[in-house]
Chain A
Amino acid sequence: MRKIITFLFLAILGYYMVNLMNQIPFGEDRMNVGRYYLENTVSETGSVNTVTSIVVSYRGFDTLGEVTVLFLAATGLGAILFDKRGKKRRKQHASSLVRTTSKLLYPLIVLLGAYVFVHGHLTPGGGFQGGAIIATGVLMMYMSYRKFETNHKALTIIESVAGLTFITLGMTGLILGQTFLENFLPLGTPNTLLSAGIIPIIYSAVGFKVGAELTGVLDTLLKTIR
């Protein structure tokens, strides 16, 4: 009975939504503020990746909030699962083939993650993507080695320092320039690594922070079944 009612309700909702979306033609150019970003990103921020310049510079405040949300998730997880004793899980190691491969791949994956967040202003990528890649590498190690441990204290410190770097950069902008998060470094030549002012610095801090936080989240969750 409940299923039928839900189904009907969702059918009506779906019909209504499809109808609504019909009035918004697909694939049409309806840029407004977006046009401005595309036209001015290279000259104003020095970043060739427009998405990065929006995420870090034009709408940098959102990113501060976004970093905070992740931090919040890690903190909340820590608070909720505090003093949780882990349950025994079967000690079954992965095959030696898997273990050797992951040992080989692990540094490479971390390196790739670092590459992605350092080149956030040049290529499709950035702090969040890079951090996620690094955490994947750690997850792989967790999967193949039952005994694999990360240093939780070091993770917390990286997390905090990266977050503080972000806000300190913002405050420096407030003091040196006019506004919070304002760029105070030279823009450099577009399409080179050392360009785009503070964008690569912020994105690297974000990369470290996201990597540490996602690893911390995985670690906390896995500890409950150790």
Chain B
Amino acid sequence: MELNFSPVHFIAVPLFAAFLLPLLGRVSQKLVTLVPGVVLLYLSVVAITLFPQAYDTPIVEIIAGWRPPFGITLVFGPLAAFLVTMITLIGFVVWLYSYRFIIREPLEKYYMLFMLLIAGSTGIILTGDIFNLFVFLEITAIAAYSLTAFLRDHNGAEAAFKYLLIGSFASAFVLLAIVILYANVGTLNMADIALRMGDVPDKIKLTIMILFIVGLGIEAELFPLNGWAPDAYSQAPSPIGAVFAGIVVKAAVYALMRVLFTLFDLPTSSHFLVVMGTITLLVAEMSAMRQQQIKRMLAFSSIGQMGLVLVAFGLGTKEGIAAALFLMFSHAVIKTMLFFSAGYLVFFSGHKNISDLEGMGREKPWTGFFFSLGALAIIGLPPFSGFWAKFYLLVSAANASHIFLIALILFSAIIEAVYYLRVVGRLYFKKFNDIEIRKTPFTGLLAMGILAIVTLVIGVYPDFIHELVLPAANELLDKAAYLQYAMIGQ
């Protein structure tokens, strides 16, 4: 039997599931929790099946039969394949964790929003059209606002409102950028825009670029536009905090990079990226040190890692970008695991503060173990994937002869070590004296276990991911080739 998979499935199938869930909810609540998992498993299968094909020759999927630049296309090259596979895998693990974690009504709404979030993020990565990118960005953002307020407590609503206000500003900036861009080039396909970008006056080009950086930078947690992130991360349900760190931010970073690398020539923005990434990194790591709440600390750490990713992209070399992608993957896996275990620690102890979690590691050995594992991995100790991410970053910084970057990366690793080990120490050194504690659900442990195995396996065989990442980095750098296949040779 010949399987006829196509990249459209990544968007159409989760949407179909989201539309179907309210009807399924009438039949049985069991189905509502099961179907998203089946969908995500299916998408992972599609992603892995299409993977070799995308690395061989990028798949350009035409929607509604109109060739570019007249219709919308989905571009499924190595970069998109890598990130989409990452998103579907993380999404599946998040579902596994939510399976017993989210037991609050309205269940079907939770899974509908989750499915739409997945569809939106994969849409951002797949689309080859700038306005379509905006639409998917908004789908992701609105789903994220609603999920932040899902617990319906006053802090959740406040965090969601803040996120919504800042996010709406972001989308206004992106839309303004698209309006000015359209006025100058008269087309919306990204490859076509890139071809016509030469005629645009430099001043207008710069304005458009600034608008895009501000707009997409807000979603990508660029300093000083990331005020929404710690609140949203810490007030949303734990699985959703993991989704923000593992999926939403990654899609936003991709969008920013796609725009900067494909629409504009990089040299103008690369220094800017390095500088902003450095500031983001330093400010976030310093803030993380001062946090009392465990999830806020994880959120700031996540912002810091994104800063590191931006620095790596800003290097503008193939190795640098490859290191950035490796770091994105490694961070997605590890930070998801950290959020999962922190979620259980907070849930079982009933406290959000780090100081109240003392001794939890003894009470909940597995959860504590996974948290410690994640902490060691994200600091960058071997034999975890985090080590190789930082190692490749150091090598590429050395090759680009940025000495201060090497110092920066090592310095940030030290700060991370300080605040993560502080938490790990508290988990084990004191005894937890509180009432009885329930058992951790098996699916939750399974979800964390899968992620732990992934980070260990990549830590032992880093070449596997590194070889996948290099062609993806090439795609971002080799603009001519992208234009060639995204326009289907026109």
Contacts and interface: CB of A to CB of B under 8 A. Distances in A.
User: Do A and B touch directly, given a CB cutoff of 8 Å in the complex?
Assistant: yes
16 contacts: A30-B186, A32-B186, A57-B64, A59-B71, A60-B63, A65-B135, A68-B15, A75-B112, A79-B147, A79-B149, A82-B105, A156-B22, A174-B8, A178-B65, A179-B65, A180-B6
A23 B135 CA distance: 28
Contacts of A73: 142
A20 B180 contact: yes
Interface string A84-118: 00000000000000000000000000000000000
Interface string B57-100: 00001111110011110000000000000000000000000000
A20 B207 CA distance: 9
A170 interface: yes
Contacts of B143: 72, 76
B167 to A, nearest CB: 13
Contacts of B350: none
A24 B208 CA distance: 14
Interface of B: 6, 8, 12, 15-16, 18-20, 22-23, 61-66, 69-72, 105-106, 109-110, 112-113, 116, 119, 123, 127, 129, 131-132, 135-136, 138-139, 142-143, 145-147, 149-150, 152, 157, 160, 180, 183-188, 192, 196, 201, 203-204, 207
Given A61-B63, A72-B139, A33 B23 contact: no
Contacts of A24: 180, 183-184
Nearest to A54: B70
A37 B70 contact: yes
Interface residues of A, number: 50
Contacts of B113: 72, 75-76, 79
A205 to B, nearest CB: 11
Interface of A: 20, 23-24, 30-34, 36-37, 57-62, 64-66, 68-69, 71-73, 75-76, 78-80, 82-83, 156-157, 159-161, 163-164, 167, 170-171, 173-174, 177-183
A20 B204 contact: yes
A78 B106 contact: yes
A38 to B, nearest CB: 12
B63 A82 contact: no
Given A72-B142, A79-B150, A181 B63 contact: yes
If over half of B's interface residues share one DSSP class (helix, strand or loop), that class is named, otherwise mixed; here it is: helix
B72 A61 contact: yes
B415 to A, nearest CB: 33
B143 to A, nearest CB: 6
Contact of B15 (A59, A64, A79, A83): A64
Nearest to B136: A65
Nearest to A82: B106
A61 B132 contact: yes
Nearest to A159: B22
Contacts of A79: 106, 109-110, 113, 146-147, 149-150
A71 B61 CA distance: 25
B70 A179 contact: no
A57 B64 CA distance: 6
Pick the 6 closest A-B CB pairs, nearest first: A32-B186, A76-B146, A163-B19, A65-B135, A79-B109, A182-B65
